[in-house]
Structure 1
Amino acid sequence: MAVYTTDHSSSVIQTHSWRTASNSAGYLLPHITATSKILDIGCGPGSISIDFARRAPQGHVTGIEYVPDPLTQARELASSQGVTNVEFAVGDIHALAYPDDTFDIVHVHQVLQHIADPVQALREMRRVAKPGGIVAARESASMTWYPENRGIEQWLDVTTRMGAAKGGNPHPGRMIHVWAEKAGFYRSKIKKSAGAWCFSSPEERRYWGGSMGDRAKSSGFSRMAIKERFASEEELQTISAGWKEFVEAEDGWFGLMHGEILCWK
């Protein structure tokens, strides 16, 4: 995960904590059973993992992150909600510390775009999935917004250049099924779909635009952008102002499309 272009600052955690199984993994939910054993890779603050655990009350969920930073919050969230069939640990998607054929479902959400070798990651996910089990992945593919906004345009340009320069694969949702075939899945056993997020109500704009604007002011993204000269202080100010304009725009609308795959082993 060395190419990850942000950190786990409060603005990033705020964004990740909004994610639930319903708004971020709906394509997978019909395949979760009461006894499913699930590995959730890149779990962050645990909101999706805990949702999975609720849907598999006789099963178990393991959430892993490449660094320990967000895992304390994940454990506290599970404890506060009385969810006991979930655990969190540090782990590396390129070399998962689990035996072959361990999990019914292996899941990632917006993780493959941040790593240097997504095919190797999918091979590892396939390895630890049980025969007949599912590997599920969802990655951003494209985004658009209204009205026109120079700051958001700059944000997309900077984040895309940073991700590519650090060895990642920005917004790869359109091609994750190709990576899955290279990782050993048969084409006939890969189901492709698309999902979307939309932020348009005042509350949605405050959440999305507010957290993204904060990232431009103080986060791993902003520090890396300045340090490695992907953006100037003035450009980051323009980005932050652009997100503020979006929040305040009564007709503001932001859409983000994801590519999704379910791969049967």
Structure 2
Amino acid sequence: MSETQPAAAVYTHGHGEAVLRSHTWRTAANSAAFLLPHLRPDMTILDIGCGPGTITADLASYVPDGRITGLEYSADILEKARAHAAEKGVQNIDFATGDIHALPYPDAAFDVTYAHQVLQHITDPVQALREMRRVTRPGGLVAVRDVDMSATAWWPASAAMAQWLELYLRVARGNGGSPDAGRRLHAWAREAGYDPARVACTAGTWCYHTPEERAWWGGLWADRILQSNFAPTSIKNGFATQEDLERVAETWRSWAKEEDGWMTLMHGEILYRV
């Protein structure tokens, strides 16, 4: 199969248990720190690709006199998002389905539009950025954060881990995504017509090194390799066999047991004042 982008991107991971295990770990603090200092209590926020809504519910606490909307392409996951918000007692929140390429809102509808780990999975990130700017009010903010998987670093050195990363990049690109999105956000913004002088670029990391973090992160990825959409997609597209995937999963389990184990994921971030 060609690794050029198909007409429509396919979400590489899906929303299985192993994937949600990591998604529900995400908070405003660990996934939107670059945005938090700019929030005011009365703002309205659109959180695009909200998934199970943990970041969304957290952000709601920063705008107690405003409101936040969590938007998802898939309706199924929104039941978990609504349940999480209800469990946390969050009132100033609602959820809806929609496509980032054609947001179902009028121009200038929100003070802030935010997307975390979304642009890497879609076919046309430039159009998505145009839409985010369109629904943001003058003086408001467009905030985007995406991982750069190619920049993932780990210790100890491991040829097997390098093979995992190569496989991941092939699968993500074969699905129509851009797994190196983090380093490209500012370039996509310029292509979308954003004024480069008003694009603030930063970077953030997730780092895993304690025994507990390694066990959680390594076990999560071992399960994700075998139990998420990653497995059937890898096999169907001829990127890996079931035996290959079993070996990759074992690589993650072995890394998790390494006393000197360490891993960091780099994220690119842009903040744009409309």
State the TM-score, normalized to the length of structure 1: 0.97
Query: How large is the RMSD of aligned CA atoms in angstroms?
Result: 1.1
Once residues 151 and 241 of structure 1 are traced to their aligned partners in structure 2, the CA distance between those partners, rounded to angstroms, is 10
User: Which structure 2 residues correspond to residues 140-155 of structure 1 after superposition, within 5 A?
Assistant: 140-141=147-148, 142-155=151-164
- Would you say the 8 A contact 2:144–2:271 is kept in 1? yes
Once residues 208 and 71 of structure 1 are traced to their aligned partners in structure 2, the CA distance between those partners, rounded to angstroms, is 24
Write the letter of the residue equivalent to 1:61.
I
Write the letter of the residue equivalent to 1:103.
F
Structure 1, residues 88-143: CA drift from partner, whole Å, max 9, x if none? 11110000000000111100111101000000000000000000111011111221
Equivalent of residue 253 in structure 1, options 252, 257, 262: 262
- Would you say the 8 A contact 1:8–1:69 is kept in 2? no
- Would you say the 8 A contact 1:150–1:242 is kept in 2? no
Once residues 159 and 244 of structure 2 are traced to their aligned partners in structure 1, the CA distance between those partners, rounded to angstroms, is 10
Write the letter of the residue equivalent to 1:233.
Q
Equivalent of residue 109 in structure 2, options 85, 99, 102: 102
The answer for the alignment partner of 1:10 in structure 2 is 17
State the TM-score, normalized to the length of structure 2: 0.94
Number of paired residues? Answer: 265
Once residues 177 and 60 of structure 2 are traced to their aligned partners in structure 1, the CA distance between those partners, rounded to angstroms, is 30
Structure 1, residues 157-188: CA drift from partner, whole Å, max 9, x if none? 11111121222111221121111111121111
Query: Which stretch shows the higher mean deviation, 223-232 or 29-38?
Result: 223-232
Q: Give the percent of matched residue pairs that are identical in Structure 1 and Structure 2.
A: 49
Gaps of 5+ in 1: none
Equivalent of residue 122 in structure 2, options 91, 94, 115: 115
Write the letter of the residue equivalent to 2:101.
H
Write the letter of the residue equivalent to 2:81.
A
Once residues 161 and 180 of structure 2 are traced to their aligned partners in structure 1, the CA distance between those partners, rounded to angstroms, is 16
Once residues 44 and 37 of structure 1 are traced to their aligned partners in structure 2, the CA distance between those partners, rounded to angstroms, is 19
Deviation at 1:246, TM superposition (A): 1.4
- Would you say the 8 A contact 1:151–1:243 is kept in 2? no
The answer for the alignment partner of 1:132 in structure 2 is 139
The answer for the alignment partner of 2:50 in structure 1 is 43
In the alignment, does 2:243 pair up with 1:234? yes
- Would you say the 8 A contact 2:56–2:68 is kept in 1? yes
SS in 1 for 2:265: strand
Once residues 80 and 69 of structure 2 are traced to their aligned partners in structure 1, the CA distance between those partners, rounded to angstroms, is 15
Deviation at 1:43, TM superposition (A): 0.5
The answer for the alignment partner of 2:41 in structure 1 is 34
Structure 1 stretches of 4+ with a deviation exceeding 6 A read: none
Deviation at 1:239, TM superposition (A): 0.9
Structure 1, residues 8-44: CA drift from partner, whole Å, max 9, x if none? 0000011111111101110000011111100001111
Once residues 62 and 149 of structure 1 are traced to their aligned partners in structure 2, the CA distance between those partners, rounded to angstroms, is 42
In the alignment, does 2:218 pair up with 1:212? no
- Would you say the 8 A contact 2:120–2:178 is kept in 1? yes
SS in 2 for 1:43: coil
Once residues 148 and 233 of structure 1 are traced to their aligned partners in structure 2, the CA distance between those partners, rounded to angstroms, is 25
In the alignment, does 2:253 pair up with 1:244? yes
Write the letter of the residue equivalent to 2:241.
S
Query: Which stretch shows the higher mean deviation, 179-188 or 113-122?
Result: 179-188
In the alignment, does 2:174 pair up with 1:173? no
